[in-house]
């Protein structure tokens, strides 16, 4: 930090308006996040009697949220004027200021109402207006227009010469760090195109990495439609990696499911622990992602993993531009109220090429194919890079996001049955709301009031439109690199994650209130490369034999603070007849059974208690176990050592070790009555070890074996951290181990990449109200990528695996969180809905997880920039319950994408589910915690729909 401040002062960067903008946007945001208990408070809920146009119970942040207002009145005039300024230096600076002020005036005047949602700006309750009176775009415009346009005049124009590539300093020939390359539509999709450091810390060729790893660049993300919905789409991810088939995860997924378990997310190499089995409290910001590296199997010694995992995904965020000013303005519009827009621009700071920046904004105003689902989201991302000397570089990354959303969290079509899946017929029948309850007591059998099967629209959901939520997320990251010598490099990576959210799902009943959780993580490492001669001399390479060493050692520490209020044990999703009753009546809070738990310490999970300082209607349960309420903080300290040996041309050995000390304090949160208050403090050690021998008989072939073993922790708060239930069982001794062997090929002059692997992995299932359960996944996979030239590329993948849960050592077997049996069986046995008890101990196969997944994708691009992509995903059948009675049959999805690109424009039309296949998605798959809702909810897959995207590049 002293070095960074010295650069700022020496170069007088602090005198520029650009520095002031950065300081205001992120300095003040950081102070607010650190010293304010609540960045914005939640207004009282309100009800609407108009069922045709129900206002969201939480008024949106006061954004005009009009993509056209932003693009037409702000972005396009601004970019046009910037371009003119670059070609006409005599253009007066005041013109920019005047244009910005005019754009500001127009953007405040314009307003576009959302689809059935509020478009009234600050006419809603005053709390939101007082705390956030302007949109992100407006704040930017105020800053930009201050000082008569001095911001852009302070940034010298580029030379227009050849690009100066921004690369990390090298540490000898064997440990050179990869340069960050921004890839476009026509770039290589071969995994061997560039090395990656996301697996073992050092940059390595994918062919030489003893794990299955897939780099995913922008070309692949666009081709599969990964970001088309604004959240992690399980179908699109599986079209790229068949082993990454995922459930919906509420639309909050920060990482896909890999080999049946949630992958661990990392941002530029730092683990994001403000999530629970890749479940975040707000939608993920895909706008800041330039590319990602997905590794199958848990992380190794350098990066570590806190939670059980069978995969990791390292998001590499957008990098600053150092060569010349460039940018784009884009808009995506799709069927079912799918609206996304944004701008991305950057360039050098000064003429030396030693400093650069990049600013990126994205807005989302999405409705949904599904009833009452929406997401209004805005994110602004900033990257600044400095390279004052050849031996020192520093990069800053920052992201700020605001969200107003209704999540896809266990609330699809309820009462899933074989008749619903196969014939579209819904089980009708309902009780008076006074009789609705959770559990067997005073709950009449469904057979006493069940109605006939009736056709149902696939668009319906169990969502009460009065629910929903708001949130705010923040990221600050500083990465410094110092070249100590030709063979040594020092790297310091510091990240700050922040998350604040509150949302309520009345029909389920679930609510979550998080005033402001945060994580600070720092990793300092030294990377060393050297050779040990064994025999012969270096000048005679054919007779010499050396051992080449790559060593990465250091220490990582982190601190996390969690104050989470959650209510989740009163589950009544199957009680509502969504075909014949009013959605506003799907509210568990209106039932006498719910009210009987309010302020009742003898009720399940300690009863329901109002959230201190929260909005009316928000409750928490003090003792609701994993994924629940907590007031916790913990420190983690992790020394690590990774050593890669290369023995001549054919053999190598990778060894790594890490040990993490956890120092945890967890109690029931404030607001808990004294009679229920509990807590604990503990210190725990969690070791990690990995070893990987590699044999490379030919330059185009690698065979490997990998063993990874570590102790994970449950980290079972709603968004990380630990609950008072963490002392149960082996919550700090969760064994995670991997055996994997594979062979990789790079053939036909590096135009064909083939990879195959077999694996056996042991990890643990998360359970809401019980200790983790040992689980095993055994299988094999293969993948192929072929790109003979710039016109053609094709991908093919296949994944087969068996997953089992071993409950034999526990007092009970698996249980469904909402309802034990499927609704067909409930009706046949004369049982009540929304009643559950555990199955007996034993070994059970995974549910909601296809054993076989096949994907294929092919793209052709003409010399004129016109191209076509066709993608296919096929999967085998999957059972939804532990009776293995109701299943989703084998299904497939096919997408087609037409695109055009040149130096100034990009356009594409995506045809999703082009055959209009009636596929289904479970709430949770494999080991996902959301699998517990698969007997109470299922989501119809999206039908045929179209999305168009247009981008202007400058």
Query: 460 and 581 share a domain?
Result: yes
Quick one: 476 and 576 in the same domain?
yes
Residue 233 in this model has a pLDDT that exceeds 50:
yes
Does residue 20 register a pLDDT over 50?
Answer: no
Number of domains in the chain: 2
Query: Which of 429, 408, 412 shows the shortest CA–CA distance to 421?
Result: 412
Cα 640 to Cα 278, 555, 689, distances in angstroms: 24, 6, 10
pLDDT at 266 over 70: yes
Residue 24 pLDDT: 37
Asked whether the beta carbons of 568 and 608 are under 8 A apart, the reply is: no
Residues 282 and 417 in one domain: no
Confidence of residue 57 (pLDDT cuts 50, 70, 90): very low
Claim to verify: residue 358 and residue 489 sit in the same structural domain: yes
Sorted by sequence, the CB contacts under 8 Å of residue 727 that are 6+ apart come out as: 680, 682
Give the least confident one: 360-374, 626-640, 765-779: 765-779
d(CA 887, CA 196): 40
Q: What is the dihedral of CA 257, 260, 266, 269, to 10 degrees?
A: -130
Q: What is the reported pLDDT for 345?
A: 97
Pick the last residue of a domain from 317, 348, 378. 317
Helices (H), 582-630: 592-595
- Tell me the pLDDT tens digit for each residue of 92-117: 444 444 443 434 333 333 333 333 33
Q: Does some domain include residue 376?
A: yes
Confidence of residue 730 (pLDDT cuts 50, 70, 90): low
What are the phi and psi torsion angles at 929 (to 5°)? -55, -30
Average pLDDT of the segment spanning 187-208: 93
Q: Is residue 26 a part of any domain in this protein?
A: no
> How far is CA 31 from its chain centroid?
25
Q: Identify the weakest region by mean pLDDT among 11-15, 362-366, 378-382, 682-686.
A: 11-15
Last residue of a domain, one of 253, 285, 317: 317
Mean pLDDT of 357-362: 98
Task: Note whether 625 and 768 are same-domain residues.
Answer: yes
> 287, 317, 347: which is the final residue of a domain?
317
Contacts of 488 (CB under 8 A, 6+ apart): 171, 526, 527, 528, 529
Residue 166 makes CB contacts below 8 A (sequence gap 6+) with 179, 180, 319, 320, 322, 356, 385, 387
Q: What are phi and psi of 445, to 5 degrees?
A: -60, 145
Per-residue model confidence (pLDDT) at position 768: 56
Percent of the chain with pLDDT over 70: 78
The mean pLDDT of 296-320, rounded to a whole number, is: 94
Domain CATH code at residue 366: 2.40.170.20
User: pLDDT (tens digit, 9 = 90+) per residue, 813-840?
Assistant: 988 888 999 999 999 999 999 988 889 9
Give the chain's mean pLDDT. 82
Q: Which domain holds residue 914?
A: 326-712+737-953
Instruction: Tell me the average pLDDT across 222-247.
Output: 89
Confidence of residue 313 (pLDDT cuts 50, 70, 90): very high
Q: Are 243 and 386 found together in one domain?
A: no
CA distances from 854 to 586, 850, 875 (A): 39, 10, 6
Specify the pairing of strand 374-389 against strand 392-406.
Answer: antiparallel
Q: pLDDT (tens digit, 9 = 90+) per residue, 663-680? A: 999 999 999 999 999 999
**Regarding predicted confidence, which is higher, 441 or 793?**
793
What pLDDT shows up at residue 767? 63
- Do 856 and 803 have their domain in common? yes
pLDDT for residue 395: 97
The pLDDT assigned to 118 comes to: 35
Given a cut of 70, whether residue 40 has pLDDT beyond it is no
Model pLDDT, residue 726? 65
Residue 103 lies in a domain: no
Residue 93 lies in a domain: no
Rounded to 10°, the helix 93-109/76-87 angle is: 170
Q: Is residue 544 part of a domain?
A: yes
Q: State the chain's maximal CA–CA distance in angstroms.
A: 89
- The yes-or-no verdict on residue 686 having pLDDT over 70 is yes
Question: Do 370 and 256 fall into the same domain?
Answer: no
Helix pair angle (136-145, 93-109), 10° resolution: 160
The yes-or-no verdict on residue 138 having pLDDT over 60 is no
Terminal-to-terminal C-alpha distance of the chain: 35
Residue 895 lies in a domain: yes
Same domain, 275 and 293: yes
Nearest alpha carbon to residue 163 among 404, 348, 318: 348
- pLDDT score, position 478: 98
pLDDT higher than threshold 70 for residue 145: no
Give the predicted TM-score (pTM) of the model. 0.83
Lowest mean pLDDT among 89-93, 224-228, 511-515, 665-669: 89-93
Q: What percentage of residues in the chain have a pLDDT greater than 90?
A: 64
Task: Name residue 478's beta-bridge partners.
Answer: 396, 494
pLDDT classification of 886: cutoffs 50, 70, 90: very high
Kindly state the tokens that stand for 493: 């990576």
**Lowest-confidence pick of 46-50, 271-275, 306-310, 711-715:** 46-50
What is the tens place of the pLDDT at every residue in 562-576? Answer: 999 999 889 899 999
The span from the CA of 591 to the CA of 577, in Å, is: 15
Residue 927's pLDDT is: 84
Starting from the edge strand earliest in sequence, which strands make up the sheet with 289-296, in order? 212-216, 289-296, 311-317, 264-267, 270-271
- Pair (423, 562) in one structural domain: yes
Q: Is the pLDDT of residue 761 over 60?
A: yes
Q: Classify residue 701: in a domain, yes or no.
A: yes
Q: What CATH number is given to the structural domain containing 267?
A: 2.170.130.10
Residues in the chain: 954
Query: What is the pLDDT, as a whole number, of residue 541?
Result: 58
Q: Which is more confidently placed, 114 or 236?
A: 236
Is residue 545 domain-resident? Answer: yes
User: Is the distance from CB of 871 to CB of 844 less than 8 angstroms?
Assistant: no
- Please tell me whether residue 667 adopts helix, strand or coil conformation: strand
- Both 249 and 335 in one domain: the answer is no
**Residue 927: which of 237, 277, 272, 248 has the closest Cα?**
277
443 & 590 share domain: yes
């Amino acid at each position: 930090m002293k070095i960074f401040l010295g650069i700022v002062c020496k170069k007088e960067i602090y005198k520029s308006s650009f520095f002031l903008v950065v300081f205001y946007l992120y300095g003040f945001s950081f102070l607010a996040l650190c010293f304010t208990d609540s960045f914005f408070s939640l207004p009282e809920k309100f009800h609407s009697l108009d069922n045709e146009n129900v206002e969201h119970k939480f008024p949106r942040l006061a954004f005009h949220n009009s993509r056209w207002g932003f693009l037409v009145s702000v972005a396009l005039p601004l970019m046009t004027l910037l371009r003119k300024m670059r070609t006409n230096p005599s253009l007066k600076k005041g013109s920019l200021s005047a244009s910005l002020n005019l754009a500001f005036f127009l953007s405040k005047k314009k307003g576009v109402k959302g689809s059935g949602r509020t478009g009234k700006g600050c006419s809603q309750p005053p709390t939101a207006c007082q705390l956030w009176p302007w949109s992100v775009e407006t704040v930017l415009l105020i800053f930009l227009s201050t000082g008569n346009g001095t911001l852009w005049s302070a940034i010298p124009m580029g030379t227009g010469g050849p690009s100066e590539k921004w690369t990390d300093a090298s540490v000898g020939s064997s440990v050179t760090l990869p340069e960050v390359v921004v890839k476009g539509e026509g770039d290589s999709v071969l995994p061997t195109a560039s090395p990656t450091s996301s697996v073992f810390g050092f940059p390595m060729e994918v062919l030489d990495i003893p794990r299955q790893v897939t780099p995913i660049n922008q070309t692949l993300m666009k081709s599969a439609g990964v970001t088309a919905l604004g959240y992690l789409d399980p179908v699109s991810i599986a079209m790229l990696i068949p082993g990454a088939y995922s459930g919906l995860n509420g639309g909050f997924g920060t990482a896909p499911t890999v080999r049946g378990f949630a992958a661990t997310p990392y941002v530029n190499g730092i683990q994001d622990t403000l999530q629970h089995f890749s479940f975040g409290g707000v939608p993920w910001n895909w706008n800041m992602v330039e590319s990602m590296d997905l590794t199958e199997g848990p992380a190794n010694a350098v990066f570590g993993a806190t939670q059980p995992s069978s995969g990791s995904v390292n998001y590499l965020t957008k990098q600053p531009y150092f060569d010349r000013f460039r940018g784009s303005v884009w808009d995506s519009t799709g069927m079912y109220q799918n609206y996304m827009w944004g701008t991305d621009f950057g360039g050098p700071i000064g003429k030396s090429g030693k400093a650069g920046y990049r600013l990126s904004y994205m807005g989302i105003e999405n409705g949904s194919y599904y009833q009452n689902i929406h997401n209004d989201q805005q994110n602004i991302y900033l990257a600044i890079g400095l390279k004052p000397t050849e031996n020192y570089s520093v990069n800053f990354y920052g992201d700020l996001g605001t969200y107003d959303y209704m999540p896809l969290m266990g609330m699809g079509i309820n009462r899933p049955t074989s008749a619903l899946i196969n014939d579209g017929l819904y089980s009708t029948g309902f009780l008076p709301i006074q009789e609705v309850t959770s559990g067997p007591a005073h709950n009449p059998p469904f057979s006493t009031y069940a109605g006939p099967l009736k056709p149902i629209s696939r668009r319906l959901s169990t969502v009460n439109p009065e629910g929903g939520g708001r949130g705010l997320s923040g990221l600050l990251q500083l990465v410094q690199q110092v070249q100590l010598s030709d063979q040594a490099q020092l790297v310091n990576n510091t990240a700050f994650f922040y998350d604040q959210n509150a949302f309520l799902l009345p029909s389920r009943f679930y609510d979550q209130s998080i005033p402001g959780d945060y994580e600070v993580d720092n990793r300092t490492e030294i990377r060393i490369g050297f050779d040990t001669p064994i025999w012969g001399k270096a000048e005679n390479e054919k007779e010499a034999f050396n051992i080449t060493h790559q060593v990465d050692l250091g220490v990582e520490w982190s601190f996390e603070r969690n104050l989470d209020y959650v209510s989740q044990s009163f589950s009544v999703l199957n009680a509502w007849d969504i075909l014949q009753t009013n959605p506003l009546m799907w509210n568990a809070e209106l039932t006498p059974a719910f009210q009987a738990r309010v302020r009742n310490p003898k009720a399940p999970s300690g009863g329901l208690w109002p959230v201190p300082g929260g909005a009316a209607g928000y409750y928490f349960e003090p003792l609701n176990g994993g994924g629940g309420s907590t007031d916790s903080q913990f420190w983690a300290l992790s020394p690590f050592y990774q050593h890669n040996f290369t023995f001549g041309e054919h053999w190598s050995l990778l060894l790594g070790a890490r040990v993490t000390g956890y120092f945890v304090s967890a109690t029931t949160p404030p607001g808990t009555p004294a009679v229920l208050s509990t807590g604990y403090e503990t210190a725990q050690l969690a070791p990690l070890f990995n070893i990987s021998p590699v044999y490379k008989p030919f330059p185009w072939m690698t065979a490997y074996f990998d063993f990874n073993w570590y102790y994970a922790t449950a980290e079972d708060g709603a968004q990380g951290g630990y609950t008072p239930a963490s002392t149960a069982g082996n919550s700090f001794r969760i064994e995670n181990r991997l055996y994997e062997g594979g062979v990789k090929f790079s053939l036909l002059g590096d135009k064909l990449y083939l990879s195959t692997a077999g694996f056996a992995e042991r990890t643990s299932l998360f359970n809401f109200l019980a200790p983790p359960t040992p689980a095993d996944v055994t299988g094999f996979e293969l993948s192929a990528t072929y790109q003979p030239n710039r016109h053609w590329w094709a991908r093919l993948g296949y994944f087969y695996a068996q997953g089992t849960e071993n409950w034999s050592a526990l007092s009970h077997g698996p249980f469904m969180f909402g309802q034990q049996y499927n609704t067909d069986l409930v009706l046949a046995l004369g049982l009540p809905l929304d009643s559950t008890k555990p199955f007996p101990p034993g070994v059970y196969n995974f549910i909601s997880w296809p054993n076989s997944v096949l994907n294929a994708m092919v793209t052709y691009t003409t010399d004129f920039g016109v191209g076509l992509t066709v993608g296919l995903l096929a999967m085998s059948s999957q059972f939804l319950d532990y009776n293995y009675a109701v299943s989703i049959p084998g299904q497939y999805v096919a997408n087609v994408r037409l695109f055009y690109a040149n130096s100034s424009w990009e356009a594409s039309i995506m045809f999703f589910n082009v055959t209009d296949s009636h596929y289904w998605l479970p709430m949770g798959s494999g080991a996902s915690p959301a699998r517990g809702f698969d007997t109470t909810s299922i989501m119809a897959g999206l039908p045929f729909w179209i999305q168009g995207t247009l981008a202007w590049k400058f």
